Structure 1
Amino acid sequence: MSSKHFSELGDSASRVLDAAEGLIQQQGYNGFSYDDVARLVGIKKPSIHHHFATKAELAAVVAQRYTHRFRSELLIIEGRHAKATDRLLAYAALFEQRYTQDRGLCVCGMLGAEAASLAEPVAAEVQLFFRSNLDWLAAVIKEGQQQGLLRSSVKPAALAEAWHSAMQGAMVLGRGLQSDRGPAQVAKSLLATLLA
């Protein structure tokens, strides 16, 4: 894991994180440089190195902060929705919100696609994002099966993988087709096949 924690960073470092996050969502880890970040933030490259010695450290903290925000959103979903089906659709809405902004993709989805070229701290943060999402989805799906809302013929962990894969894939497919059909619509179609 990264030795830095995003909550301990000041405003200047947070602006660097914001710029790097946007670049990763649009171009991936291998598609941006510190020069790109410096231009977006309006600072010199050595100032970025002052906050993040390496690109790997920067990307790890970006992924860490992204995962934290995403997990916070999952808690909000739990507080707003009692039914598993509503929670699954609200989960899809998180991806839809990201997708409709500028066709940007999930930070950890983009980083996951480049897993073979990631340094260990970045890969570890990406894995944490995926594991926490799959665990949450599996728990929601299991609850939905117990509520009699979702089919129980498939294990919750397998359905969690399918659901998360569908959300990530909907963003990639929508971007590739330059389509307005995003994760929310894909989720509605998928949910229709899962209802008990």
Structure 2
Amino acid sequence: MKHFSELTSSATRIVDAAEGLIQHLGYNGFSYEDIAVQVGIRKPSVHHHFATKAELGAVVVQRYTHRFREALLRIEGTVIHAPNQLRAYVDLFAKTYAQDGRLCVCGILGAESESLPEEIRGEIHRFFEINIVWLSAVIEKGLSAGTLKSSRSASELAGALLALLEGSMLVGRGLKGGFDLRAAADVLISSMT
């Protein structure tokens, strides 16, 4: 399988198109023909770069996870207190959703996971695991420092926040944008401060 860091500029354009299509339609909602039209190439050229849709999907998730992980590291390096780190985390989802109702790549793929190839499911699992571990560490530090308080464990709170954000994006789409993701997340974060 290809690694996202090895992509040519043409392959990167294909991955960009696939990511956008996944965020709007899901994995099962687009074809190589859709990508070819969007990128302005012929369908065989898409196959030249990605022999299978499963390979393409796995690279999309791999790259998305990498970018998300970099964003988490930026939060750690620039935001001091746990409540503010959690709000910066919420902003990652809010900014994604603000782009024409785009969903988190792994959120929409998680909903489709039973029908996805194993290599994509593995990458989705990795994304969620990275997020739960990071959130748990932030919450644990906040609980220890006294900037957060709760009778729940850090891992329970981490799972609740991640589920709330992924679910908020879906509810927002169902309500055609009439849902405030940040306000929903603030209910949970405020209950910990």
The farther-off stretch of 150-159 and 103-112 is 150-159
Partner of residue 110, structure 2: 112
Deviations 1:161-186 (A, max 9, x none): 00000111111111111234332221
8 Å Cα contact 2:104-2:166 kept in structure 1 = yes
Structure 1 segments, 4+ long, off by >3 Å, are none
Partner of residue 12, structure 1: 10
Partner of residue 72, structure 2: 74
**Is 2:100 aligned against 1:138?**
no
8 Å Cα contact 1:98-1:106 kept in structure 2 = yes
Write the distance in 1 (CA, Å) between the matches of 2:89 and 2:81. Answer: 12
Question: What TM-score does the superposition give when structure 1 sets the normalisation length?
Answer: 0.96
Partner of residue 91, structure 1: 89
Q: Secondary structure at the match of 1:108?
A: helix
Partner of residue 101, structure 1: 99
Write the distance in 2 (CA, Å) between the matches of 1:183 and 1:68. Answer: 23
8 Å Cα contact 2:101-2:177 kept in structure 1 = no
Partner of residue 178, structure 1: 176
Partner of residue 167, structure 1: 165
The farther-off stretch of 26-35 and 147-156 is 147-156
8 Å Cα contact 2:136-2:155 kept in structure 1 = yes
Partner of residue 24, structure 1: 22
How far off is 1:193 after superposition? Answer: 1.4
8 Å Cα contact 1:99-1:182 kept in structure 2 = no
How far off is 1:31 after superposition? Answer: 0.5
How far off is 1:99 after superposition? Answer: 0.5
Q: Aligned letter for 1:118?
A: L
Write the distance in 1 (CA, Å) between the matches of 2:189 and 2:178. Answer: 19
Write the distance in 2 (CA, Å) between the matches of 1:180 and 1:83. Answer: 30
Q: Aligned letter for 2:116?
A: L
Unpaired runs of 5+ in structure 2? none
Write the distance in 1 (CA, Å) between the matches of 2:134 and 2:181. Answer: 18
Matched residue pairs, number? Answer: 193
Write the distance in 1 (CA, Å) between the matches of 2:135 and 2:53. Answer: 31
Write the distance in 1 (CA, Å) between the matches of 2:109 and 2:137. Answer: 25
Partner of residue 60, structure 1: 58
Partner of residue 155, structure 1: 153
Unpaired runs of 5+ in structure 1? none
Deviations 1:35-75 (A, max 9, x none): 10011001111101111000000000000000000000000
Q: Aligned letter for 2:52?
A: T
Question: What TM-score does the superposition give when structure 2 sets the normalisation length?
Answer: 0.98
Q: How many percent identity over aligned positions?
A: 54
